[in-house]
A and B are shown apart, each in its own frame.
Chain A
Amino acid sequence: MKGVDGQALPRLSAADYFVQTWGVLVAAYRELNARKLFWVALVLNGLVIAAMAAVGVDEKGVSVFGFELPIPLVNTTTYPDGKLYKFIFVGLGVGIWLAWLSTILALLSTASMFPDLASGGVDTMLSKPIGRTRLFVTKFISGLLFTALQVTVFSLLAFLVIGIRGGSWEWGLFVVVPLMVVFFSYLFSVQAVVGMITRSPIASVIVTLLFWIFVFLVDAGERFTMVGVISSRLEIAGIEARMEKVEDEERKSGFTKRRDERLETLPNWELAHGIFYAVKTALPKTSETAGLTTRALALTTEMPVDDEEQQVDEQERRRRGLFRSEFVSPRKLEAAINQEYESRNVWWVVGTSLGFVAVMLGVGAWYFRRRDF
């Protein structure tokens, strides 16, 4: 670009960009520090970890605050090397605390960030040499600080507890920091756009929570139809395996009839699953992203099976009048579902979700660029 005198005008350098971006991030950190919710969440982090640390496991079993709990098959033999603590970390720490409660606190804490940006307070900022798109995106990144700081503290404490109490120094659990930041970014992108358009913190939180419920329902629908597909396929495979060994024609036709019944319903399940899967592909995959922690820590949810559970399975099979070959036990089904989830490419899970975030940020930045203040 040239000035009126024909001379080339100066341009912003990378160092200039850094100075501004760092300035916004420092201000965002100060903003978080000033919010009570940030400290409340930090204290709750400590309590969750304290609860985890209160659990003891030895060769006899499990205890909490020294009181032994009657949980069969859970001891250092079945859960060696701090595996129980890792389960608690993934199940309670990530699955419930970080993926739900802490996320809601983060959404509440950052709710006013974009309405503030879209209201009168932005005048001074916009008059500075920072592009609106960059300002929007930098503000978005600074909003992720809440989760990044909280999860870092949480992971560090969990790392110490698992190391000290479980004797296993699990560096891999720090993968939860980027994963949960990415997880939060899915929802925060919606909150940012709604906050920018409505300029209302309350509206942005409500719409984001409704969106989260929608995502959850789509995920549940996808899982439900996946169960239909997988169980049908397992049943068909079981029946066909059995058919090969049966000589008697009458019994064979009985198997054929049952197989055909399942073959008839399988396309419907597959169609329904295909639809849910397509919708889910376009949406952020919150549950699966949180579930990536399990993969990263190489934890399987396969529990040891005791006789009692086997008896329950047998009763269920008889109640349904199924042959052993066509009966799919809940554990077998669960294992197959887990296998299906784990077979999904991480880049499909995170990449398509970040694609959603990019689209939302694009919409938000476009709106921000076009608005007069």
Chain B
Amino acid sequence: MVADASQTSERADSLAIDLVDVTKMYAGRVHALQGVSMQVGRGEIFGLLGPNGAGKSTLVKIMTTIVRPTTATGTILGAPIGHRPTLARIGYLPEHHRFPQYLTGRQCVEFFGAMNLMRRADRKRRAAEMLEVVGMKSWGDRRVGTYSKGMQQRTGLAAALVNDPQLVILDEPTDGVDPVGRREIRDLLIRMRDEGRTVFLNSHLLSEVELVCDRVAIMLKGKVERQGSLYELTHESRRWKITVEGAMPAWVAEFGAPTVERGRASVEFKTEDLAWVQSCIDRLRAEGVMIVGITETRESLEDLFMRLVRDVDGRVAAVGAGNVNTTMRGAR
């Protein structure tokens, strides 16, 4: 029993989000979530991916008490889902937020500070800080109704962070934001992680998720299809591609069929054994073959995502090898 309690405590300490068997059946028997279990560690950036209708927003809304689950067990920051004081430690930016148009950006951020139980002096100070962080300091005293989409998004981000949250849940945070702003938001997410906060990112932008997330979950049709770090999700597809000038020696054929293009031959190996790759390179060099490229290839997040979507949709389960992650060109 003591050991169980200790393990539970350790689990709570290490996990910011621990969801077990979350289901949601909407009226009309729409089964939005079909037993979702998901674990998000403290101090990581976690990306939630999925096509429209996968149930991502429903899951996020259940975590933030906006939608009532049909069944759900689990914890958020060590407390049961929906525990009110714990909600004050969460920052949330919804996808289609609509802030009161009659408030100024500063008043808006301060208002959500008050909703998060912050005392007047604290919320005034934090609102000023956060508006500066999101680049809205000079616009803070103008009404939200006069803001562009990107400015509203930045203000929303400031409102989500005003309470100095331990867990930040962001639904499409870069929606409507220009490329410079996107970069700034990405940097901000990384900074938050470095400060020990947990960031839960719900985004359609796979490239964005791939750039900042430590771990991701891919949801399809109300279920979590895959969950893990980018490495865990894609390492199975890892291959080594060696390209040489001219023709490949005959012995190479036993590991894979070489392809020839523009006078260069290439062959792909699927192996986890780097020593074997090294010995292969050594043998080629010993035979005087000029190696012009050694490339590690693996499925990109987008490829994995598309493959899973196709698989689940019952379409062709085509595995498309992705593009370069690590390249060593001209190795000899």
Other contacts beyond A3-B79, A128-B87: 8, CB < 8 A? A5-B5, A5-B8, A20-B114, A27-B100, A27-B103, A123-B96, A127-B92, A129-B84
Interface residues of A (CB under 8 A from B): 1, 3-6, 9-12, 16, 19-20, 22-23, 26-27, 30-31, 33-35, 119-131, 370, 372-373
8 pairs, CB–CB < 8 Å, chain A vs chain B: A1-B83, A4-B75, A16-B117, A30-B102, A119-B98, A372-B61, A372-B66, A373-B66
Query: How many angstroms between the C-alpha atoms of A37 and B139 in the bound complex?
Result: 27
Q: Are B115 and A130 in contact, CB atoms less than 8 angstroms apart?
A: yes
B1-22 contacts to A (CB < 8 Å): 5, 8-9, 11-13, 18
Q: Are A30 and B107 in contact, CB atoms less than 8 angstroms apart?
A: yes
Give per-residue flags for B81-120: 1 if the beta carbon is below 8 A from chain A beta carbons, else 0. Answer: 0011111101011101111101100010001101111110
At the interface, yes or no: B67 with Cβ under 8 Å from chain A?
Answer: yes
At the interface, yes or no: B80 with Cβ under 8 Å from chain A?
Answer: yes
At the interface, yes or no: B231 with Cβ under 8 Å from chain A?
Answer: no
Query: How many angstroms between the C-alpha atoms of A16 and B12 in the bound complex?
Result: 26
- Measured CB to CB, the closest approach of chain A to B160, in angstroms, equals 8
- Total A-B Cβ pairs within 8 A: 121
Query: How many angstroms between the C-alpha atoms of A131 and B12 in the bound complex?
Result: 25
Query: How many angstroms between the C-alpha atoms of A4 and B7 in the bound complex?
Result: 10
Query: How many angstroms between the C-alpha atoms of A6 and B78 in the bound complex?
Result: 10
Given contacts A27-B103, A124-B159, contact A19 B84 (CB under 8 A): no
- Measured CB to CB, the closest approach of chain B to A122, in angstroms, equals 8
Beta-carbon nearest neighbor of B62 in chain A? A372
Q: Are A12 and B84 in contact, CB atoms less than 8 angstroms apart?
A: yes
Beta-carbon nearest neighbor of B114 in chain A? A23
Beta-carbon nearest neighbor of B90 in chain A? A127
**A128: which B residues are within 8 A, CB to CB?**
87-88, 112, 115-116
Interface residues of B (CB under 8 A from A): 5, 8-9, 11-13, 18, 26, 61, 64-68, 75, 78-80, 83-88, 90, 92-94, 96-100, 102-103, 107, 111-112, 114-119, 156, 159
Contact of A373 among B67, B112, B117, B156 (CB under 8 A): B67
Q: Are A124 and B112 in contact, CB atoms less than 8 angstroms apart?
A: yes
8 smallest CB-CB distances across A and B, nearest first, come from: A23-B114, A34-B102, A127-B64, A121-B98, A128-B115, A129-B84, A123-B94, A4-B12
Q: Are A123 and B102 in contact, CB atoms less than 8 angstroms apart?
A: no
- Measured CB to CB, the closest approach of chain B to A57, in angstroms, equals 44
- Measured CB to CB, the closest approach of chain B to A185, in angstroms, equals 23
- Measured CB to CB, the closest approach of chain A to B14, in angstroms, equals 11
Q: Are B114 and A19 in contact, CB atoms less than 8 angstroms apart?
A: yes
- Measured CB to CB, the closest approach of chain B to A42, in angstroms, equals 17
**A3: which B residues are within 8 A, CB to CB?**
12, 75, 78-80
Q: Are B67 and A129 in contact, CB atoms less than 8 angstroms apart?
A: no
Most buried by B among A31, A124, A131: A124
Given contacts A3-B75, A120-B98, A123-B66, contact A131 B84 (CB under 8 A): yes
**A33: which B residues are within 8 A, CB to CB?**
102
Query: How many angstroms between the C-alpha atoms of A109 and B11 in the bound complex?
Result: 51
Q: Are A373 and B111 in contact, CB atoms less than 8 angstroms apart?
A: no
Beta-carbon nearest neighbor of B88 in chain A? A129
Query: How many angstroms between the C-alpha atoms of A27 and B104 in the bound complex?
Result: 11
- Measured CB to CB, the closest approach of chain A to B7, in angstroms, equals 10
Q: Are A30 and B78 in contact, CB atoms less than 8 angstroms apart?
A: no
Contact of A127 among B65, B83, B100, B103 (CB under 8 A): B65
**B111: which A residues are within 8 A, CB to CB?**
23, 26-27
Given contacts A372-B66, A372-B68, contact A124 B94 (CB under 8 A): yes
- Measured CB to CB, the closest approach of chain A to B157, in angstroms, equals 12
Query: How many angstroms between the C-alpha atoms of A128 and B169 in the bound complex?
Result: 13
Given contacts A5-B78, A19-B118, A372-B61, contact A127 B66 (CB under 8 A): yes
Contact of B86 among A5, A9, A126 (CB under 8 A): A9
Q: Are B114 and A30 in contact, CB atoms less than 8 angstroms apart?
A: no
Contact of A9 among B8, B79, B97, B112 (CB under 8 A): B79
Beta-carbon nearest neighbor of B159 in chain A? A124
Query: How many angstroms between the C-alpha atoms of A122 and B103 in the bound complex?
Result: 15
Query: How many angstroms between the C-alpha atoms of A89 and B234 in the bound complex?
Result: 79
Query: How many angstroms between the C-alpha atoms of A131 and B75 in the bound complex?
Result: 19
Q: Are A372 and B80 in contact, CB atoms less than 8 angstroms apart?
A: no
**A35: which B residues are within 8 A, CB to CB?**
102
Query: How many angstroms between the C-alpha atoms of A39 and B104 in the bound complex?
Result: 20
Query: How many angstroms between the C-alpha atoms of A5 and B88 in the bound complex?
Result: 19
Query: How many angstroms between the C-alpha atoms of A123 and B115 in the bound complex?
Result: 13
Q: Are B90 and A10 in contact, CB atoms less than 8 angstroms apart?
A: no
**A370: which B residues are within 8 A, CB to CB?**
68
Q: Are A11 and B66 in contact, CB atoms less than 8 angstroms apart?
A: no
Query: How many angstroms between the C-alpha atoms of A123 and B26 in the bound complex?
Result: 18
- Measured CB to CB, the closest approach of chain B to A369, in angstroms, equals 9
Query: How many angstroms between the C-alpha atoms of A130 and B64 in the bound complex?
Result: 12
- Measured CB to CB, the closest approach of chain B to A310, in angstroms, equals 60
Query: How many angstroms between the C-alpha atoms of A23 and B103 in the bound complex?
Result: 12
Contact of A20 among B79, B83, B94, B117 (CB under 8 A): B117
**B107: which A residues are within 8 A, CB to CB?**
27, 30
**A124: which B residues are within 8 A, CB to CB?**
92-94, 97, 99, 112, 156, 159
Contact of B12 among A5, A125, A373 (CB under 8 A): A5
**B94: which A residues are within 8 A, CB to CB?**
123-124, 127
Beta-carbon nearest neighbor of B12 in chain A? A4
**B156: which A residues are within 8 A, CB to CB?**
124
Query: How many angstroms between the C-alpha atoms of A103 and B79 in the bound complex?
Result: 46
Query: How many angstroms between the C-alpha atoms of A35 and B145 in the bound complex?
Result: 13
Q: Are B98 and A23 in contact, CB atoms less than 8 angstroms apart?
A: no
Beta-carbon nearest neighbor of B97 in chain A? A124
**A5: which B residues are within 8 A, CB to CB?**
5, 8-9, 12-13, 78
Contact of B87 among A26, A119, A120, A129 (CB under 8 A): A129
Q: Are A31 and B85 in contact, CB atoms less than 8 angstroms apart?
A: no
Contact of B114 among A9, A22, A131 (CB under 8 A): A22
Query: How many angstroms between the C-alpha atoms of A33 and B103 in the bound complex?
Result: 10
